[in-house]
Amino acid sequence: MQPHVLTIRKHDVTKWLAKLLDSRDVIAPAFGPCGEILFSKVHSPEQVLWDFENPLSPPKQFVLPQTDPIVRIQRDSHRTEVAPIYDGRQQILFNVRPCDAKGIAFLTHVHEMEPADASYLRRAANLTVISLACNTPCRLGFCVCSDSGPFLNSGHDIQLTDLGEKYLAEIGSAKGEGAVSDAASLFDPATEDEVVRRKELEAEARGCFGEETCHFASAMRRVSTRRVDDALWDRMSDWCLECGACNFICPTCYCFSVKDRGGDGVWTRCRTWDSCQYAAFTLEASGHNPRAQRGERIRRRFFHKVSAQYYVRDGMTGCVGCGRCIKVCLGGTDMPAVVAAIRKGAWHGQ
């Protein structure tokens, strides 16, 4: 649908949030029990943060939970019953940054592919994403390199932009329209000057990045045409500690295992997050492991992230430039560092 552009005064936002809280679960950046910033369910508008550093854990957990019950299995002496587990809650992700909104759009696109993942898609259908554009980009972010920020120009339910005394609200979907409909009286049509100011803010934010930090196109050509030496992957692998943090904090990673919990005739089959960097991730029942060496696992991870083959399939790189991997990787094999090594054909460590 064509974006519908409105404005809302800042002092009216709490009224809008109160309306949303009446009918839906609202997930937003808020202070955790120890003062850390987390995406969590809020119970009042006052809990929602507006000036914040993006939380380390992405909001993907609310559409793809770390432990996701899929089916309930019950067995007695006569038969076995298998019933899907439905999650019908209406949820709103409020004040997520553009990179995280793009990450959820990426996950939804992947799970729509055949065979479509009904469990994920039911939850995604009940999720409305309201993003907050980044007038000031985060220190480690490189979203501009993957067209994932600092502003979104398509693919959003609602995008908010801070104009000073107001927020500009770009409505980009029917779900976005639904999120403003109950509080329509709080919104006004945006003026031409306000739309122009939003574009100026985007240009100013893009200018804050300076030299781009992750040249995906060059790395994509080398990875896709097999011009990266095996020895380079092996050298980089010496720096990987196999902790899996890069997978767990990445907004676009979705590696999983399946576990059964319970007993005495009743089990819950759960999908749980896993890491393609773990040695046992591809271990087969026969004992064979097609990616037993760490270098092979790193190569596979970055082939999935930046190859032309996956770009064509997924419509974007498997990275939204949020910078979280830079924060958590103890060995320095984060996305910008590895992309630079691929482009230059050399790895020098941290």
Query: Which segments of the chain does DSSP mark as H helices, in order?
Result: 13-23, 98-112, 118-125, 174-181, 192-207, 216-224, 230-237, 245-248, 294-306, 308-314, 324-328, 335-344
Q: Cβ(335)–Cβ(163) under 8 Å?
A: no
Which one-letter DSSP state was computed for residue 225?
T
Neighbours of 120 (CB within 10 A): 21
What is the model's pLDDT at position 3?
63
What is the model's pLDDT at position 211?
66
What is the model's pLDDT at position 34?
93
DSSP 139-185: TT--GGGGT--SS-SSS-SEEEEE-SSEEEEEE-SHHHHHHHHTTGG
What is the model's pLDDT at position 212?
59
Euclidean distance between CA atoms 255 and 272, whole angstroms: 9
Helix (H, G, I), strand (E, B) or coil at 296: helix
What is the model's pLDDT at position 332?
93
Q: Cβ(187)–Cβ(8) under 8 Å?
A: yes
What does each of the 350 residues of the chain score in pLDDT, given as a tens digit? 456 899 999 999 999 999 999 999 999 999 999 999 999 999 999 999 999 999 999 999 999 999 999 999 998 878 899 999 988 889 999 999 999 999 999 999 999 999 999 999 999 999 999 999 999 999 999 999 999 999 999 889 999 999 999 999 999 999 999 999 989 999 999 999 999 999 999 999 999 987 656 789 989 999 999 899 999 999 999 999 999 999 999 999 999 999 998 878 899 999 999 999 999 999 999 999 999 999 999 999 999 999 999 999 999 999 999 999 999 999 999 999 999 999 999 998 76
Structure tokens at 15: 């009224």
What is the model's pLDDT at position 213?
66
Q: Cβ(301)–Cβ(339) under 8 Å?
A: no
CB-based burial label for 142 (10 Å; 0-12, 13-18, 19+): buried
State the Cα angle at 250 between 247 and 256, rounded to 5°.
45
3-state DSSP: the chain helix, strand, coil percent, rounded to 5?
Answer: 35, 20, 40
